[in-house]
């Protein structure tokens, strides 16, 4: 594959060197535009040739970089969204509703009620961090216009943020709701 890149770039350069602009286009926008694209192609061809030589010189390093980039891409592609969280929450809530109240796990029910209450109050928020996502709560709704939400001295401190995180989404799953509701039908 790397040889094909080199031969293809050489073929394109041979064609580009044979094509000449007519005299009436010399010094015009078209000549400048073609020179720009030709120089850009030369730069990228040189970068690919350098990449090829680096891969041949240090194959372990290239393997590590390739694996790391592929892993980051896979994690970002499987990062759950807020819609996934809501879908998961509704599915689990419907499953819990089918279980008798005597059999329900109280910790699971309290967690589901806290999430529902946060949604009803409008204080739950979603953040996408690239390879992971978080759901967290704030003290007041964003549409609230009280003095408490406008005053910078009354805003929550940064170190209290971990206690306000409801769930962390990673590798296609919301983990806290999965762990807390795994045994929703087992009453202690």
19 φψ region: left (φ > 0), alpha (ψ -120 to 50), beta (else):
beta
Chain segment 39-71, per-residue pLDDT in tens = 898 898 888 888 888 888 998 988 999 999 999
Please give the chain's pLDDT, 188 residues, in tens: 556 656 666 666 666 566 666 666 677 777 788 888 888 988 988 888 888 888 889 989 889 999 999 999 999 999 999 999 999 999 999 999 998 888 888 888 999 999 999 988 888 999 999 999 999 998 777 776 666 666 776 666 677 778 888 999 999 899 999 988 888 878 77
Burial of 181 (C-beta count, 10 Å sphere; 0-12/13-18/19+): buried
Write the DSSP string, 75-117: HHHT---HHHHHHHHHHHHHHHHTS-TTTS-HHHHHHHHHHHH
Q: CB of 158 within 8 A of CB of 75?
A: no
Cβ atoms of residues 167 and 174 within 8 Å: yes
Residue 153, burial from CB neighbour count under 10 angstroms (0-12, 13-18, 19+):
exposed
The domain spans of the chain are 2-57, 82-180
Q: How far apart are CA 75 and CA 69, in angstroms?
A: 10
Contact (CB, 8 A) for 99 and 185: yes
Residue owning tokens 């094909």 = 4
The helix-helix angle for 2-18 and 29-57 (nearest 10°) equals: 160
Nearest to 184 by CA among 124, 110, 111, 109: 109
């Amino acid at each position: 594959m790397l040889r094909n890149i080199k031969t293809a770039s050489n073929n394109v350069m041979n064609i580009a060197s044979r094509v000449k602009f007519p005299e009436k286009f010399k010094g015009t926008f078209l000549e400048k535009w073609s020179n720009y694209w030709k120089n850009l192609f030369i730069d990228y061809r040189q970068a690919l040739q350098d990449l090829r030589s680096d891969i041949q010189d240090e194959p372990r390093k290239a393997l590590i970089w390739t694996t790391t980039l592929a892993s980051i891409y896979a994690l970002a592609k499987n990062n759950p969204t807020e819609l996934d969280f809501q879908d998961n929450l509704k599915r689990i809530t419907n499953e819990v509703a089918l279980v008798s109240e005597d059999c329900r796990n109280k910790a699971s029910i309290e967690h589901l009620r806290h999430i529902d209450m946060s949604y009803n109050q409008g204080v739950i928020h979603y953040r996408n961090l690239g390879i992971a996502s978080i759901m967290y709560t704030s003290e007041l709704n964003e549409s609230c216009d009280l003095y408490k939400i406008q005053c910078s001295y009354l805003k929550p401190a940064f170190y209290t943020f971990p206690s306000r995180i409801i769930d962390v989404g990673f590798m296609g799953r919301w983990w806290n709701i999965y762990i807390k509701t795994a045994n929703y039908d087992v009453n202690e």
